[in-house]
Structure 1
Amino acid sequence: MNKHDIRQLKDIFIAFFTIGLFTFGGGYAMIPLIEREIVEKKKWIERKEITDIFAVSQSIPGAIAINSATFIGFKIYGRKGALAATLGVILPSFFIISVIASYFNKFGNNLIIKSIFSGIRPAVVSLIFFAVYKVGKTSISDKTGFLISIIGMLLVVVFNVHAIFVIIGGAVFGLAVYKLWPNKADEILRKEVKNDDIP
C-alpha cells in the first residue's frame, strides 16, 4: 500500500469518524452531515448519487448511517474504503456508549443529565427535518414525484405499511412509467439532471 492509498483511507476514516462523533439522534440525523461533508466539502460523491445511496441504504437491512458509510466508502476506494468508512462511523458511538453504559445507572436520574437530553431531543428532530428537506429537494423534481412522496408517507404513517413495501411500490411505479410512458420518464430524468446542476 503506497502513501496515496494510506492518505486516502485516512481521509475517509477521519471524515466518517467526525460525522459519527458529532451526530446525535441516529442515522437520519446523520444524513445532512454526510451530505455536507461528502458532497459539498470533499466532493467525493455527486448530489444525485448521494440521494440514490440513501435510498438503497434505507432499503436493505441495517442502520442507514452504517449502510451509507459502507456504500460511500466502497464507491470512493473499494473494499478498503468501505472498511475505513464503516469503522470511522461506528467507533465514536462504540466508545461513547461504552463510557455512558458504565456510568448510566449512577447518573441516569441526575437532573442535569435529564436536562441535557431534553435539549438534545428537539435539536435532533430539527436535523431530521433538515435531512428530509435536503433529500426531498434532490429527489422530487415534478408533481408526480411529489404525489408519490405524499402517498408513501400516508401508507407508512396512516396505514402502517412497512417501509420496504413502499420503496418497492415506488420502484415498480417508476419502472411502469419508464415502460408505458417513455416520454414522461425522459422528461422526469431531464429535470433531475437539471436539478443536479443547481448547488
Structure 2
Amino acid sequence: MKAEIQKELKLMASIFKIGVVGFGGGTALIPVIEREVVEDQKIVEKSEYDKDVIVASITPGALPVEIATGLGKRAYGAKGMAIAAFLMAFPGVLMTVLMLSVLSKVDEKLFVQIECLSIGLTAFISCLLTQYAVKSMQEAKKESVKRFGRAFVIMIAVFILSCGKSVYNILGIKETPVFGLSTVQVLGIAFFGIFYTHCRFNIKNTLVSGITIILYILCVGKAGIIQNIYLETGLKIFMFILAIHGLYVCTRYGMSKGKRSEEELEKAGHRLTAAGFSKEMITWLLFIIILSIPAFIITKDTWIYLFRGFASSIISFGGGDAYLSVADGMFVSTGMIKENEFYSQLVSIVNVLPGSILCKTLAGIGYFIGFDIDGSVLQGYAVALAGFACSVAASGIVFCIIYYLYEKFEGIAVFKLIGRWIRPIIAGLLLNVMVSMIYQNIETGTAIGGSVVTTLIITFVIYFVNLVLMLKAKAGNGILILISAVLGIALCNGILI
C-alpha cells in the first residue's frame, strides 16, 4: 500500500512539475512528458504513453491535459484521472489569473524576467523536441533500414507541409508560404492515407490517394494555389468516404483481428462497461459542478459561460492559437467580455506563461466576467475557477470517449498502423513546433532589447548545454529545467537587457 501511494505521489508530482514549466504547451510537451514519466520515473510503458498521444492528437481540447487524463486514469482510475488533469492545467491557470488581477500593479521588470525565463525553458524544450525526432528515427532503424527510410520521409514530409509560416518568419520572408498546413490537416491526410491504403501501395491505391492528397494540399495550403470551395469540400467528403470504405474492407475481409474481446480489454484494465464509463462521466460532471458553485452564487450568467466554454473546448482543433479565434467568436463577439480585455491583456499574458492556452484563456475570460460585475477580484477568481473546471472536464470527457473507442477497435489492422507510424508523424510536427519556438524566442529577445543574432546565440548555447547534460551526464528533467531557467535569466540580463 505504501509503495502504491508513493508511486501515485510520484506521478502527480511529475505532472505538476510539467504543468509549471510547460512553455510551448500542446504538442511541444509530448517529449517533455515522455521523458519524465516514461524514461526518468518509469511510471508507464512507452507503448501505453504512445496510445495516449495518439488519442490526444485526434481529440479536440487541451492536449497536455488529455495526456495527463490518460496517465492518471490508467494508473488510478477515475480519481487519478481528475487529479492528474487538474495538476497539469492548474499551474498555468493560477499564474494567468494572478497576473490579470495584479496587472496594473506589477512592475514591467517582472514581465521582462518572465520572458528571460521563457527563453531558457524554450531552449530546453526545443532540445527535447529534437531528441524525440532522433529517437523515433533510431527506433525505426533498429527494425529495418527500409522502415527507417519510410519513417524519415514521413517526418520530413510532415515538417515541410507544416513549417511554412515558422520558417518564413525566421527568414523574414513576407510572402505567404506555399503549404503551412495545420496539425489537424496534416493528421487528417495521414489518417486518410492509412485508412484507405492500409499502407499497401499498389498502383490503384497510390494513384487515388496521391492525386487526392495533392489536390487537397493545393486547396488548403496557405498560398491558395487552388481556390475553389466546392472542390475543397468535395475532396474532404471524398477522403472521408474512402477512409470509411477502407475501414470497412479492413474489418470485413480479415485484414485484422477485429474488435478486441471483452476478456482482452478486461485483462488490459480497459474493459468498457456501463458502470465504468458512467463513473468517469459522473466524476467529470462533479468536477465542474463543485468547482463552479462560487460562480453560480455570483452570477446567473455562469450557465451561459460554461455552455459556451464547453462548446468552444470540444470544437478546438489545431492548438492554442486556433482556440483564441474560437474564444473570440464565443465570448468577445457576443459581448461577454470587452475586446480590449481579451486582446490587450489576456492574450499577451497567456502567450508568455506556461500551460495550455485553452485552459488559461477560458479561465482568464471567467476572471473578467466576474471582475466586471462590480470590480471585485475575488468574484473574478470565482468565475475563473469555473472556467478552469470547464476546460479541464471538457478535454477529459472527449478524451475518455475516444480512448475507449480506440481501445475497443485497436485490433483492427489500420489502428495498429496508426500506432506504428504515429511517432514519425508527430516527430515532423514537433520539428515545426521547435522552429516556431525559436522564432518566439527571437520575438521575445528583440522585444526586451536584444538583437536577432544575440538571441539565437543565447538560445543555442542553452540548447547545447542541455544536449550535453542529457546525453553525457544523463541529467533528469528537474536538473535541466533549473539550469535552463538560471541560464536564461543570467544570459538575457547580462547580454540582451
TM norm. shorter chain > 0.5? yes
Q: Report which of the two structures shows the higher radius of gyration computed on alpha carbons.
A: 2
Q: Which amino acid aligns with 2:182?
A: H
Shift of 1:47: 2.7
Q: Does 1:79 align with 2:78?
A: yes
Q: Does 1:100 align with 2:99?
A: yes
Of the candidates 114, 118, 122, which is equivalent to residue 117 of structure 1?
A: 114
Contact 1:32 1:130 in 2 (8 A): no
Measured in 2, the distance between the counterparts of 1:157 and 1:29 equals 14
Residue 137 (structure 1) aligns with = 134
Alignment TM-score, normalising by the size of structure 1: 0.73
Structure 1's 42 and 58: CA in aligned 2 closer, same or farther, altered over 3 A?
A: same
Match of 2:64, SS? helix
Residue 89 (structure 1) aligns with = 88
Residue 34 (structure 1) aligns with = 33
Per-residue deviation, residues 28-77 of structure 1 (Å, max 9, x unmatched): 45334322321123312223443443343232111221111112212222
Contact 1:31 1:131 in 2 (8 A): no
Measured in 2, the distance between the counterparts of 1:28 and 1:128 equals 11
Measured in 1, the distance between the counterparts of 2:22 and 2:114 equals 14
Measured in 1, the distance between the counterparts of 2:4 and 2:56 equals 26
Structure with greater helix percent: 1
Contact 2:11 2:43 in 1 (8 A): no
Q: Please provide the CA RMSD for this pair.
A: 3.3
For structure 2, the residue ranges without an aligned partner over 5 or more in a row are: 141-147, 165-178, 203-254, 256-415, 424-473, 475-497
Measured in 2, the distance between the counterparts of 1:116 and 1:41 equals 29
Contact 1:15 1:37 in 2 (8 A): yes
Per-residue deviation, residues 119-147 of structure 1 (Å, max 9, x unmatched): 23322432342232233234332111111
Residue 235 (structure 2) aligns with = none
Q: Does 1:170 align with 2:167?
A: no
Measured in 2, the distance between the counterparts of 1:170 and 1:131 equals 24
Residue 157 (structure 1) aligns with = 163
Shift of 1:156: 1.9
Structure 1's 127 and 167: CA in aligned 2 closer, same or farther, altered over 3 A?
A: farther
Residue 56 (structure 1) aligns with = 55
Contact 2:21 2:121 in 1 (8 A): no
Structure 1's 127 and 177: CA in aligned 2 closer, same or farther, altered over 3 A?
A: farther
Measured in 1, the distance between the counterparts of 2:21 and 2:115 equals 17
Measured in 2, the distance between the counterparts of 1:50 and 1:157 equals 26
Structure 1's 129 and 4: CA in aligned 2 closer, same or farther, altered over 3 A?
A: closer
Measured in 2, the distance between the counterparts of 1:127 and 1:62 equals 25
Matched positions, count:
184
Contact 1:73 1:84 in 2 (8 A): yes
Farther-moved stretch of structure 1 (7-16 vs 68-77): 7-16
Residue 308 (structure 2) aligns with = none
Shift of 1:102: 1.6
Structure 1's 20 and 36: CA in aligned 2 closer, same or farther, altered over 3 A?
A: same
Q: Which amino acid aligns with 1:136?
A: A
Measured in 1, the distance between the counterparts of 2:75 and 2:82 equals 11
Contact 1:12 1:84 in 2 (8 A): no
Match of 1:105, SS? coil
Measured in 2, the distance between the counterparts of 1:121 and 1:4 equals 36
Measured in 1, the distance between the counterparts of 2:80 and 2:74 equals 8
Structure 1's 132 and 173: CA in aligned 2 closer, same or farther, altered over 3 A?
A: farther
Q: Does 1:127 align with 2:124?
A: yes
Farther-moved stretch of structure 1 (22-31 vs 87-96): 22-31
Measured in 2, the distance between the counterparts of 1:14 and 1:125 equals 21
Identify the structure with bigger relative contact order (alpha carbons < 8 Å, sequence gap 6+): 2
Farther-moved stretch of structure 1 (14-23 vs 146-155): 14-23
Residue 195 (structure 1) aligns with = none
For structure 1, the residue ranges without an aligned partner over 5 or more in a row are: 193-198
Residue 13 (structure 2) aligns with = 14
Structure 1's 22 and 161: CA in aligned 2 closer, same or farther, altered over 3 A?
A: closer
Residue 196 (structure 1) aligns with = none
